[in-house]
Chains A and B, each alone.
Chain A
Amino acid sequence: MTEPLLSIDDLTVRYPRRRGGPVTALDGVSLTAAHGRTVGLVGESGSGKSTLGKAILGLVPVDGGSITFDGRDITRAGRRERRELSRQIQVVFQDPYGSLNPVKPIGRTLSEPLRVQRTIGTRDVRARVLEALERVGLPATAADRYPAEFSGGQRQRIAIARALVMRPRLIVCDEPVSALDLSLQAQILNLFNELKADLGVAYLFISHDLGVVRYLADELVVLYHGSVVESGATRSVYDHPRADYTKRLIAAIPRAAQANPHEKAPSCSSES
């Protein structure tokens, strides 16, 4: 097996509190993500799944353990190194309304990360922006409009386009479809899969929704109270959960949702 794209080893993150000792958000978490694969990270609120994403992005300080990206230790990367890393690692957040600056036209929002790099000419910046918009299925005219003119699903496409302009190798997705309605959610999930197939991008896909993760992720990591309680290939974890918490999570999926008018219920033998 080749070296994984992302490797997290024994990661610990604590948040300071005003009173009392610090809260441990992540306690010795380890996982790896391979090139062009999707790792699903599930857990309830407060399980530390969003903290893990933030630690990879350098948005929270790490108290112990290491984060290795493409063979290099980025656990405590400085600002300059982060800027350079932002070409490799990008992010899509949950809230399609808060994740775009409302006072900036879309084109500005998309070109900003490129301009920060200072290595790309103005004409190339424009070309890259239009390419990213096209990639997520939005017209070039969208570049001159403001976020308020777009619906939730369209905004989430724009947020994905902002991640794509950098041509990253890893996108951290923090609940990227949770705020969307079913039909829009399906559009965005399909988009994620297309981008993975076409561009070879890997995802760390953080979600509370096991159904979404089961559909999208190659591997599954289950977090509970800051620790990994189970991980493995999605299918095997889903079909044969070992940890109690995973079992409860799967049992909580309403039965009625499993009757499908179009496709047969997924069975273990139908796919390799």
Chain B
Amino acid sequence: MTAPSGAEPAARALTGAELAGAPSGAGPVIAPSGRPGLARRLLRHPLAVGALLYLAAVVVLAIFAPVFAPYGPQEADLTRVLATPTADHWLGTDSLGRDIASRLMFGARPALTGVLVTVLVAAVIAIPIGLSAALSGGADRIVSPLVDLLMSIPAIVVLLMVLATFDQELLAAMAALGVLTAPGLVRVVRAAALTVAGEPYVAAARVYGFGRLAIALRHVLPRITGPVLVNLSLVAATALLTETGLNFLGLGVHLPEASWGGMVADASAAMNQQNWMLVPTGAVVAGTVIALVLLGDGVRDAAAEGWARPAARARPPRAAAAGPERDRRPDNAAPADDPPILLRVDGLAVAVPGPGGRPAPVIDDVSFDLRAGETLGIVGESGCGKTMTGRAVLGLLPDGTHVTGGSIRIDGADATAMGRRERAGLRGSTIAFVSQEPMAALDPLFTVGGHIAEAVRVHTGAGRAPARRRAVELLGQVRLPDPERVAKMYPHQLSGGMAQRVAIALALAGGPRLLIADEPTTALDVTVQAEILRLLRTLQRETGMAILLISHDWGAVGELCERTLVMYAGQVVESGPTATIVTAPRHPYSEGLLAANPQLGTPGVPLHVMPGGVPAPGEWPPGCHFAARCPYMTDECTAHPIAVAGTDDHRSRCLRAQPAHVIEAKP
């Protein structure tokens, strides 16, 4: 196990689904409907189609074996034993001169029947029991221990007993195998169903009067068909191997009758004289097992495609070369004689793999400066690129996402040109990160003090005892009462507010000069939110570090940040002092976002509504990204990209902000 350090928890925290889903979160995404049926969809999976064709051929040849087989299963030609393929016997003959192809066809009959019996028995037992265990606590108390008990029974012993009792009746053994496989399947069904049963739509179904049975059949079962099908295909494969094994031992099919296992046994007996015979028999058994598994996978995928959104499959191209060098001021350039610039983001562009494999931009031409000790907010809705901007600065973009242009300068050094290791060295010591889910940054196996001490040691090289003392100091610095006691606690003992304080202490361990806080208060209770914001402000004053606060909440940004960037659909649309933007926004999006805040609405008066939603990455219009929702839109807005304009202090990406335009304000 790797010990936690200041940077790595941040990396872990960032892998949350919330981040990965952010760029595609909103926007009108009504794709043309009219989906093909399951069979059609299955045809799109070449492996599954191959498996299906193979299995169909095996089934047809087995059923019509008397028709297709050139010889009878017992028809021996003692003049030609152990022959290799010839025109008469195109798979050769066995030690008694029987045609191998014919015997394989006849041997498929017990094999397939056996598999069918096992699968049916297992499914019929396991699905109802697994579902009832998931949906009823009472049933679960009986089922779960019983399943554990049954799974410890050695299958082969039971099978041998069944074969002894039922006079070597193969189907009885295969049915018994079904019963023995059922407990494992019960576990799968129960686990999958439990997850689904916790979904709010199941609660909604209960509200409109569904009983347990109806919920199980209509809501739970359709959702779990995927895992159940995959597991049934594995059961089928196991059953086939078991059937072959039993016949290999001579325990199932009575001897002159053809069986695959029996043929393998014959082949192995004759191996020293002629080893060809193993090839067709082995290939058929292995091929059937593989086909069963592939078909299970294919059916599961095809079933899910019926309702899931098509996923982007294609891999993105390698990171493109950085864009042309540009000499331009960042969107929030501040007067020159201020503290040194700590972070300069210039013309940053980031793309994710889009539908069809084409890279879809999620960040387009983002530029800003952050000076030492400054607090900067990034405001916007999901899908606007705020989190991606933060991740790009941290150098922790999700897989497949890459910087396609512009530069990120940290302390004057171009971070986009740095290697992985150099970049990781910046995290924790120069840049630290606090996420929305503080628990994600904490390993449940380590105490709070252990976490922080480890981070301190990684960043400062301090010894154990001093690191420990520093950890307690940091816990005190984030205003946790009784830091000594908190240091000894484990993450699960912390409340949400305490955990966020601990995560902040962890971020401070390396003495960072920039703290990136991504929605640090969103998951917390209202009163705790206010405390955490106050804490961040105090820490900023005490340590002089810069803070980049990413938030959807104007209140949080207003509380903490001197300056704010408003992002919309991957672009900075407005930047300036927070107080100015909040009272006199220049961009229609900032204006709409502020007016939509129910905090400020008058009860009984409809809230200001921006029609529609944020366009998804890849669906951005060529002109102003906000044009479709903008009350002031003109023809010119949609013609070409809009540049950022305004004073040094307050800038906006809107034609109305450009001096050449005299704008008539519409009511």
Query: Per-position contact with B for A85-104: 1 when CB-CB < 8 Å, else 0?
Result: 11001110111001111111
Known A-B contacts A216-B603, A262-B595; A257 and B558 likewise in contact (beta carbons under 8 Å): yes
Whether the Cβ atoms of A215 and B603 lie closer than 8 Å is yes
> 0/1 per residue, A122-157, Cβ < 8 Å to B?
000000000000000000011011111111111000
Query: Restricting to A228-272, which residues have a CB under 8 Å from any CB of B?
Result: 234-235, 248-249, 251-263, 265-266, 270-271
B525 near A151 with CB under 8 A, answer: no
Contact mask B380-411 → A, CB, 8 Å, 1/0? 01100000000000000000000000000000
The answer on a CB contact under 8 Å between B210 and A116 is: yes
Q: Is A101 a contact partner of B26 (Cβ separation < 8 A)?
A: no
Cα of A270 to Cα of B605 in the assembled complex, Å = 13
Q: Give the A interface residue count (CB, 8 A).
A: 86
A189 close to chain B: CB less than 8 A: yes
Q: Give the CA-CA distance A37 to B390 in the complex, in Å.
A: 43
| Contact of A249 with B526 at beta-carbon distance under 8 Å, contacts A151-B27, A257-B555 already known | yes
A186 is an interface residue with CB less than 8 A from chain B: yes
Is A4 part of the binding interface, using a Cβ–Cβ cutoff of 8 Å? Answer: no
Q: Shortest beta-carbon distance, A148 to chain B, in Å?
A: 4
Q: Assuming the A-B contacts A183-B609, A184-B26, A262-B608, are A148 and B557 also in contact, with contact meaning beta carbons closer than 8 angstroms in the complex? A: no
Residues of B within 8 A of A193 (CB): 604, 606
- Give the chain A neighbours of B207 by CB distance below 8 A: 57-59, 82, 86, 89-91
Question: Considering residues A94, A187, A256, which has the most beta carbons from chain B within 10 angstroms of its beta carbon?
Answer: A256
| Complexed CA–CA distance, A57 and B205 (Å) | 11
A101 near B223 with CB under 8 A, answer: yes
Question: Chain A contacts of B206 at CB under 8 A?
Answer: 57-59, 82
Task: Tell me whether A7 is interfacial, beta carbon within 8 Å.
Answer: no
Q: Are A116 and B381 in contact (CB under 8 A)?
A: no
Judging by beta carbons under 8 Å apart, are B596 and A183 in contact? yes
Chain A contact surface mostly: helix
Distance, CA A83 to CA B209, complexed state (A): 4
Q: Output the least CB separation between B441 and chain A (Å).
A: 20
Tell me if A190 and B607 are in contact (CB < 8 A): yes
Q: Report how far A181 CA is from B610 CA in the complex, Å.
A: 12
Min C-beta distance of B572 to chain A, whole Å: 18
**Complex Cα distance A266/B600, Å?**
7
- For A148, the chain B residues whose CB sits under 8 A away are 307-309
Q: Is B152 an interface residue (CB 8 A)?
A: no
- In the complex with contacts A91-B204, A101-B219, A149-B31 CB distance below 8 A: yes
If A148-B308, A151-B613, A186-B608 touch, whether A266 touches B525 (CB-CB below 8 Å) is: no
Which of chain A's residues 39-77 have a Cβ closer than 8 Å to chain B?
44-45, 54, 57-59
Contact B527–A44 (Cβ < 8 Å): yes
Q: Is B593 interfacial (CB-CB < 8 Å)? A: yes
Partner of B596, one of A79, A101, A186: A186
**Closest Cβ neighbor of B605 among chain A residues:** A263
Complex CA–CA separation, A94 to B381 (angstroms): 18
What are the residues of chain B within 8 A of A259 when measuring CB–CB? 558, 579, 582-583
**Distance of A147 Cα from B585 Cα, bound (Å):** 36
Q: State the Cβ distance, A226 to closest chain B Cβ, in Å.
A: 15
Q: Is B301 positioned at the interface, with any CB of A under 8 Å from its CB? A: no
B594 at the interface (CB under 8 A from A): yes
- A-contacting 9-mer, from B139-147, B195-203, B273-281: B195-203
**A263→B600 CA distance, assembly (Å):** 8
Q: Are B594 and A190 in contact (CB under 8 A)?
A: no
Q: How far is the CB of A5 from chain B (nearest CB, A)?
A: 17
A169 part of interface (Cβ distance < 8 Å): no
Give complex CA distance A147, B200 in Å.
14
Known: A151-B28, A262-B594. A145 touches B600 (CB 8 A): no
Interchain CB contact under 8 A, B26 and A152: yes
Contact bitstring A195-218, B, C-beta under 8 A = 1, else 0: 000000000000011111011100
* In the assembled complex, A32 has its CB within 8 A of some CB on chain B: no
Is B308 in contact with A102, judged by CB distance below 8 angstroms? yes
Please state if B552 and A182 are interface contacts (CB–CB under 8 Å): yes
- Chain B 228-250 interface mask (CB, 8 Å, partner A; 1/0): 00000000000000000000000
Name B600's closest neighbour in chain A (CB-CB): A260
Tell me the chain B residues, 587-643 only, with Cβ under 8 Å from chain A: 591-610, 613-614
Q: Which one of B206, B526, B585 has the greatest number of beta carbons of chain A within 10 Å?
A: B526
CB-contact partner of A146 in B26, B218, B307, B528, under 8 A: B307
Contacts of A265 in B (CB 8 A): 600
Q: Which of A104, A117, A148, A151: most chain B CB closer than 10 A?
A: A151
Tell me whether B526 and A209 are in contact (CB under 8 A): yes
List of A residues within 8 angstroms of B583 by Cβ: 259, 261
In the complex the two chains form, is A91's CB within 8 Å of B381's CB? no
Contact residues, B64-83 vs A (CB, 8 A): none
Q: Which residues of B contact A266 (CB under 8 A)?
A: 600, 602
Contact of B307 among A147, A185, A258 (CB under 8 A): A147
B321 interfacial by beta-carbon distance below 8 Å? no
A212 with B598, Cβ < 8 A, contacts A149-B29, A149-B31 known = yes
* Distance between Cα atoms of A54 and B205 in the complex (Å): 13
Given A100-B201, A254-B556, answer yes or no on A261-B595 (Cβ-Cβ < 8 Å).
yes
- Decide yes or no: A258 and B599 within 8 Å by CB, A151-B28, A183-B613 being known contacts: yes
**Cβ-closest 5 pairs across A and B:** A256-B558, A83-B209, A254-B555, A211-B599, A113-B208
Interface residues of A (CB under 8 A from B): 44-45, 54, 57-59, 79, 82-86, 89-91, 93-95, 98-105, 109, 112-113, 116-117, 141-142, 144-154, 159, 162, 166, 181-187, 189-190, 193, 208-212, 214-216, 234-235, 248-249, 251-263, 265-266, 270-271
What are 10 of the A-B contact pairs (CB < 8 Å)? A83-B209, A90-B208, A103-B222, A151-B28, A190-B606, A256-B555, A256-B579, A259-B582, A261-B585, A271-B604
Q: What residues make up the interface of B, taking CB atoms closer than 8 Å to A?
A: 25-31, 33, 199-201, 203-211, 214, 218-219, 222-223, 306-309, 381-382, 496, 525-530, 533, 552-559, 578-579, 582-585, 591-610, 613-614
